[in-house]
Structure formats: C-alpha cells, structure tokens
Amino acid sequence: MKTVYLDNAATTQIDTEVIDVMLSSLKNNYGNPSSVHQFGRKAKSAVETARKNIAKNFNVSSTEIIFTAGGTEADNLILHNAVYNLGVKRIITSKIEHHAVLHTCIHLKKTKNILVDYVDVDEFGSINTEHLKELLAGTTTKTLVSLMLINNEIGNFLDVEKVTTICKNNKALFHSDTVQAVAHYPIDLKKTPIDFMVASAHKFHGPKGVGFAYFKKGYGILPMFHGGEQEKGARSSTENVHAILGMEKALEIAISNLDKDREYIENLKKYFISELHKISVDIEFNGLSPNLDKSSYTILNVRFPFTNALFLFSLDLVGIAVSGGSACQSGANKVSHVLSEILNDKDADKTSVRFSFSKYTTKKEIDFVISYLKKS
C-alpha cells in the first residue's frame, strides 16, 4: 500500500546523515560526560562543541543553551524557573498555546498561586496586541508573557517584534515556544530580544527525546530535577550524548538548506491549496494557514464542509497520515482547544485536518491525497 506522511508538525523523518552521526557516537563515544577519564572527557568535549555550534545559529553564547529531553521539558523548565527563581507572580499567555505551556501555567496557578491572564485572540487565531498592552499597562507585578512564535495547529505567526517591544516597554519577561519555528525560519536573538525560547530536534529531522532551552544571559536557573550537577546545575541527568550530536547535525543541515527547502515546501503548500479549491469552493481553512505571509509554510489546517467522525481513520486506511482535532473526529483523542477557541460551534463541529509538509514531501504524494479527497 502506498503511504503518504503529512504529519510533519507532529514529528519528522530523521535525516540519514543524522542517523550516521548518532550511530558513530553510540559505537565510539560511549563515555559518561561527567567522568574525568579520557572516555568521559571525549564525550564532554563533543557535547560542548555541539552546544557552541547550536548557539551560533541563534547568535547567542553557548552558556545560554541548556539541553533538555525536548520542547515540553524546556517550556516547563523556563516557566518553573520564572516563578521559583526569578520572582514572577503573573503569567500572561493565550488559550491557543501548546499544552506544554497551558497546563504548566494551570499547575503553577494551583501550586504557587500565580495569577494567569489570557490575551484575546481573534477568529483567525491572531494575538490581540492592544489587549496585551492593556494587560501589562500600569502593573507592578513581575510578569512573564508566554506566546508561541508559530502555532502548532494553525501555523499562525506571532508578531514577535511588536510583542517584544510591548514586553520591554512594560518591563515584562518574554518566553516563546519556538518549536515549530526553529530550523524553519532564521532566528537571531540579538535582533529579536526573546528572553527564553525552546526547540525540539524531532521537528527538524533530528531524533526524538532531545531539545534545548535558551535562557538569556543574566537569568539564573534553578533545576526542576535534582541528583546531579549536569548542564551547569540546571538539569540533573546524564547528557543524552548521541541525541545531542544528532540534533546538532540536524540543525546544521536544516540551516544550510533553509532557503532551498522553504521554497520547495512553500510551492507544495501553494499547489495543495489550489487543488483543494478545485475540489470544492466550500472547503475552508482555519486560522491564517492559507496565507503564506502570515503562517508557516509547513502547516495547512483545512476545514471540510462535512462532519465525519471517522475521516482520519479513512485517510489512514488508504495510507495517508495526518492530524485532526475538530469536535466530530474520533480519530482525535480530544477536541482541538485551538479550533474550539477560534471557531463558532457550527464550524468547530466540521471535520478539520492539519496537513503538514517537509522537504521529503513530494508533488506525487499531494496528488495522491487530492485524488482520494475528490472521492470522499
């Protein structure tokens, strides 16, 4: 059976060169980085070289990069540190953030009595920056703003320049979940003053189970885990050496080919949109996902003019892998909190599907999907 993978916002195929680097490390670089003998020193050197090379891509110091098990842990580490170590008493976020942020904020509200406020979003999922200004105006409470750079479901860009300016003017800290942006768009943290950001390697053709948190210099870090002094005391646990080296290689490949890959994937997305329009004028899109200037070129969230609880299953049966989230779909574990927030009840009940693309996606695969959708 032919298979088509269009769920790259969930995870991506690992690059062959990344696998080669990881296999080599597993075979030849097995020392514990905390050990003082030559095997440990070799592993430690490899980890620190990877840290330096990763940091260069964001125009920051290697001391500002903390390796984690992925984006969720990195978000948690940043939010917990803001409260437990930096004196943050209030967090402003939105109701369409990733659950790594939303659920952590709720936990901190319950356990530390942190005030959590939600900035308004419009029907397209765009952040209301005027409301953000209102929420921050005149406050003396130490505040962290947490808004994702690219929404993982609808692909919307955050107006990060405006948000960072608002935060700076109101002396608020700014954290951004940048998981869907890292390695897909250039990020220069000297030009864009984000205080804290995160990355997850499996979103850019690296291994699962590894990522990093960026802490701007000057903000100390208290660990969530205890029992060791790894990562400069910020994260106890023996470093995942082979995964870190795999992430370093995946990021190097992605950054080196960023413009070429972006043009290729962007053209696939344009083509897919045009073919969907040919199927039915009643097919619509969620958020700003069809707008290539205001959404990620890797994500397209499509709302079909019907309700079919088994639509994801039917796609999977013919080999098409995608993600859903509309209220009607039993193929989705839960109703999409993002779509529930921005759509009216009628549209939220329609079948919505997130198609997400990568450099490995082909036009033939898009044609196969279109051909199936025409029959549906």
**Would you place residue 228 in the very low, low, confident or very high pLDDT band (cuts 50, 70, 90)?**
confident
Q: Which of 4-8, 138-142, 165-169, 342-346 has the lowest mean pLDDT?
A: 138-142
Q: Identify the active-site residue in 328, 332, 342, 373.
A: 328
For residues 269 and 186, membership in a common domain is answered with no
pLDDT beyond 60 at 330: no
Tell me the CATH number at 269: 3.90.1150.10
For residues 328 and 314, membership in a common domain is answered with yes
Final residue of a structural domain among 226, 256, 286: 256
**Three-class SS string for the chain?**
CCCEECECCCCCCCCHHHHHHHHHHHHHCCCCCCCCCHHHHHHHHHHHHHHHHHHHCCCCCHHHEEEECCHHHHHHHHHHHHHHCCCCCEEEECCCCCHHHHHHHHHHHHHHCCEEEECCECCCCCECHHHHHHHHCCCCCCEEEECCCECCCCCEECCHHHHHHHHHHCCCEEEECCCCCECCECCCCCCCCCCEEEEEHHHCCCCCCCEEEEECCCCCCCCCCCCCCCHHHCCCCCCCHHHHHHHHHHHHHHHHCHHHHHHHHHHHHHHHHHHHHHHCCCCEECCCCCCCCCECCCEEEEECCCCCCCHHHHHHHCCEECEECCCCCCCCCCCCHHHHHHCCHHHHCCCEEEEECCCCCCHHHHHHHHHHHHHC
Domain coverage including residue 43: 16-256
For residues 8 and 27, membership in a common domain is answered with no
Final residue of a structural domain among 210, 238, 256: 256
**Would you place residue 258 in the very low, low, confident or very high pLDDT band (cuts 50, 70, 90)?**
very high
Residue 328 annotated in active site: yes
For residues 192 and 287, membership in a common domain is answered with no
For residues 204 and 275, membership in a common domain is answered with no
| Predicted local distance difference test score (pLDDT) of residue 325 | 66
For residues 95 and 244, membership in a common domain is answered with yes
